[in-house]
Amino acid sequence: MLLVADVGNTSTVFGVYDGDSLIDTVRTKTGDHKVKELTEKYYPVNMAFISSVVPSVNERLKKYLEYLYECNVKFLDSECDTGLKICTDAPEKTGADLICGAAAAFDRYKKPVIVFDLGTATTVCAADRNGNYLGHAIYPGVKTSFDALHRAAEQLPEISDRFEDFELIGKNTVSSVKSGVIVGAACFIDGMAERYRKEVGEDAAIVVTGGLAPVILPYCNGKYDYDEFLLLEGLKLICNRTYNRIK
């Protein structure tokens, strides 16, 4: 079995694959890797493959997984076979999470793809029909925007939950902040989707992932594919391509 881990700035998502089947997932706060749900279940994992944008936790996570499963632990890096040609200025510095999402989407649709990932940051990346990873844009995520407004403006409240409870034209401060951030994020997706399609092709498939996607997508005008575990699928794909794993 293959264990994959998507280590983000806020959350880490673990997935266990038996061949092509995703049989279990666990989400935890990044840095808190001794996950009760993982340690209570035993899987005959023979390899772990990790995408991380938080280098400071990598060595501790590696040692933990080696101890837990007695398996090989590998990280996604610029030497891995992603199935894409990375056309950024510094391919070795391109975010592993961005590459995972684009690789999974391009493998699935076999045409131009645009991927939005709604996490600590909201990102959008694109690959063309020839599998060239063209680049990306980075925008403040929903929670990041709420936190920044609270810190920067003395009279704006802290908002941490019940994101859906607001009016478009807010009649109080909380509702107004929620409307601005959440509907603003939806407008970002709609606007960037339109502009990116002009760059990569009007037939481009658009996929949205990330923990806050279900909050934002209802306010989008466009219709986009939602895949909660797109990055885990990308990790499985890249691991299989790189290490010639038997599915």
Interval 217-236: pLDDT, tens: 999 999 999 999 999 999 99
Question: Where does the pLDDT of residue 35 fall: very low under 50, low under 70, confident under 90, or very high at 90 and above?
Answer: low
Residue 246 has pLDDT above 60, yes or no: no
Using the predicted structure, report yes or no on whether residue 134 has a pLDDT greater than 80. yes
- State pTM to two decimals: 0.89
Give catalytic residues, as residue numbers: 97
Which domains occur in the chain, in start order?
2-75 (3.30.420.40), 85-230 (3.30.420.40)
CA distance 66 to 200: 41
* Separation CA 126–CA 22 (nearest Å): 25
Q: Which of 165, 189, 191 is nearest to 177 (CA)?
A: 165
Share of the chain above pLDDT 90, in %: 62
